[in-house]
Amino acid sequence: MLPDSTSTAPADGGVNAGIHHDGQTRASVVSLLVEDGPLTATEIADRLGISAAGVRRHLDVLAEAGDVEASSSGFGRRGRGRPAKWFQLTATGRGKLRHAYDDLAGAAMRRLRTVGGEAAVEAFARDRVEEIVADVVPAEESGSIATTVNEIADALTSAGFAANTREVGTGMQICQHHCPVAHVAAEFPELCEAETAIFTELLGTHVQRLATIANGDCACTTHVPLHPPPDGARAPSGSTTTMTVSDAQPASAHPKKTSRKASR
């Protein structure tokens, strides 16, 4: 049985351990709703061996995130006394779960590699990223690396990657907080490598991938320097970049989230 995180202190007494236990219990609540929902808080509590109050706290968090909804109907299941609330996953909640199409996509990619080799996988990965950023104006044309960075983040968000940007020192970072293809990218890093290559071409400057969800990090993070590359060290596309005054971001000791619309 999982511990009741509402009444049992973490073994090491640390905040991170408490968060970890909360996450485990919440994941167990979601699993029960997937398999047997709708369920009442009491039914969930009985199955997990924790208090109903603890279950309700987790259900409140899930409901606030839009992942769970309550109903007075148990789809024909009635109990004695006052009608209970029945909880079930919403479409949003189900959308956050891993689905069979992850396995299907992985199988398709493996078949593509068998038939066409590494070059076919790389070409597919590149085509996919190019489609996502098709409307992004290259920095060479916009005259601003920062503007193009923000447009890339907008395009990624529209494709389901929940991206934003932030200033870090004299550069910027693109942070992707969700990856809809993370399970496939873990086996096929070409998907991540294609992103980095195309970002470099659009920005006309070398970018560095610092972390990826596919590798177990909490976000995909790409660092972009806000300075044109020195002579002889330009991006593979050979593009040049003209910096504007607005691109010369002041150095900051702490990362700062930027507004993409402000730079448009």
Q: Are 176 and 213 in contact (CB under 8 A)?
A: yes
Note the pLDDT tens digit of each residue in 210-229: 999 899 888 899 999 987 55
> What is the reported pTM?
0.55
Q: Peptide bond before 38: cis, by omega within 30 degrees of 0?
A: yes
Q: Note the pLDDT of residue 79.
A: 53
Q: Which two tokens mark 83?
A: 């009608």
Q: What three-state secondary structure class fits 39? A: strand
Boundaries of domain holding 37:
15-95
Final residue belonging to a domain, choices 49, 71, 95: 95
Q: What is the mean pLDDT of residues 5-10?
A: 40
Round to whole Å and give the CA distance between 111 and 121: 10
Final residue belonging to a domain, choices 62, 95, 128: 95
Note the pLDDT tens digit of each residue in 231-248: 544 444 333 333 332 333
**32 and 109 belong to one structural domain:** no
Note the pLDDT tens digit of each residue in 64-79: 988 899 887 654 445 5
Looking up tokens 């660092």 gives: 223
Q: Note the pLDDT of residue 199.
A: 97
**105 and 206 belong to one structural domain:** yes
Q: E strands along the chain, which residues? A: 68-71, 86-89, 163-168, 171-176, 208-211, 220-225, 256-257
* Amino acid type, 264: R
Q: Are 21 and 5 in contact (CB under 8 A)?
A: yes
**154 and 45 belong to one structural domain:** no
Q: Note the pLDDT of residue 234.
A: 45
Q: Which two tokens mark 19?
A: 């968060």
The domain tally of the chain equals 2
Q: Note the pLDDT of residue 93.
A: 78
CA distance readout (Å), 35 to 32, 63, 78: 5, 18, 19
Round to whole Å and give the CA distance between 12 and 20: 12
CA atoms within 13 A on the CB side of 107: 5
Residue 176: how many other CB atoms lie within 10 Å: 23
Final residue belonging to a domain, choices 32, 67, 95: 95
**160 and 233 belong to one structural domain:** yes
